[in-house]
Amino acid sequence: MMEKKTDMSVNIAGLKLKNPVIAASGTFGFGREYSALFDLSRLGGIAVKGLTLEPRKGNPPPRIAETPSGILNSVGLQNPGVHAFIRDEIPFLRRYDTAIIANASGNTVEEYEEMVRILSDADVDAIELNLSCPNVKEGCMAFGSTAAGITQVVSRVKPFCKKPLIVKLTPNVTDICELALAAEAAGADAVSLINTLLGMAIDVKTRRPILGNIMGGLSGPAVKPVALRMVYQVSKVVKIPVIGMGGISNGTDVVEFLLAGASAVMIGTAGFVNPYAWVEAINGLEQYMLENNCRSVAELTGGLIV
């Protein structure tokens, strides 16, 4: 009897992944800590920690607050800067057979443009333009919360981008489809969504905000229904691939996002609870495909029956 075969590979606007599970930017750092627990080559890709032109210390502590179904974070894009990433982290990541997605942030359009210029000449496989981080006072969500802002940044960086350009969208808007369409029209090769939902937590004993930055981004299981809905809506209006994220913890969650219209997914917060979440999600997806006679992941994308 022949063993059943499944094709887990995906191609997102030229970004080739062995499977559709990517470590989301922010929670995975640059992969060094998790590399001690499992082979990073199991992953379809790694979206590295958000990068800026210069090193950034991030926001004042406390920067993490647990919620009943997730976490709030206000890390504030702490990172060593793009040049240190290229020098110190890419050689480490290239030891593994996985795609490297650089997450680029900026305070101004000019900074985004410079980031894309630098990363286009670096040994990365794709660039994720972060237009959605709610934890910084300048740039990011200031651009990503309007169609005009997204159009301005994406159209400026696209001529210099030599790699597949993914635009990461914020859920903290009235109409996510309007933003996705703006990104597509301006030249995005794919969109990723959702970033965190803006929230806060209060310590009633001290009557003070728990986070040093007062507000932060909510991630984890609590945001999954919102993320799933937005991925479904966006996939119906754009022709470019959609990468889904938000509350994904296991293989079943992955299948849900694929059925909703995602071509690939990113997993982040789940790794804080279960550091093997990515590997288990890949295994769970493969098991689902075998049990349901799916030969290719592409068969699942957009396969929701309504």
Q: Which of 276, 143, 158, 259 is nearest to 244 (CA)?
A: 259
Separation between Cα atoms, residue 230 and residue 198, nearest integer Å: 16
Token output for 221: 């299981």
User: Can you name the CATH fold of 10-58+76-197+219-300?
Assistant: TIM Barrel (3.20.20)
Q: What is the rounded distance in angstroms from the CA atom of residue 137 to the CA atom of residue 124?
A: 28
* Pairing of the two strands 215-219 and 70-73: antiparallel
Q: Is 133 tagged catalytic?
A: yes
Phi and psi torsions of 120, nearest 5°: -65, -30
Q: How far apart are CA 16 and CA 104, in angstroms?
A: 20
Contact between residue 122 and residue 132 where contact means Cβ atoms under 8 Å apart: no
Sketch the domain layout of the chain as residue ranges.
Answer: 10-58+76-197+219-300
Residues of the binding site for substrate: 49, 73-77, 130, 195-196
Q: Would you give per-residue pLDDT tens digits along the chain (306 residues)?
A: 345 689 999 999 999 999 999 999 999 999 999 999 999 999 999 999 999 999 999 999 999 999 999 999 999 999 999 999 999 999 999 999 999 999 999 999 999 999 999 999 999 999 999 997 655 555 455 688 899 999 999 999 999 999 999 999 999 999 999 999 999 999 999 999 999 999 999 999 999 999 999 999 999 999 999 999 999 999 999 999 999 999 999 999 999 999 999 999 999 999 999 999 999 999 999 999 999 999 999 999 999 999
Which listed residue (133, 140, 161, 294) is catalytic? Answer: 133
Q: Which residues are annotated as a binding site?
A: 25, 49-50, 73-77, 103, 130, 168, 194-196, 220, 246-247, 268-269
Residue type, 183: A
Binding-site entries for FMN: 25, 49-50, 103, 130, 168, 194, 220, 246-247, 268-269
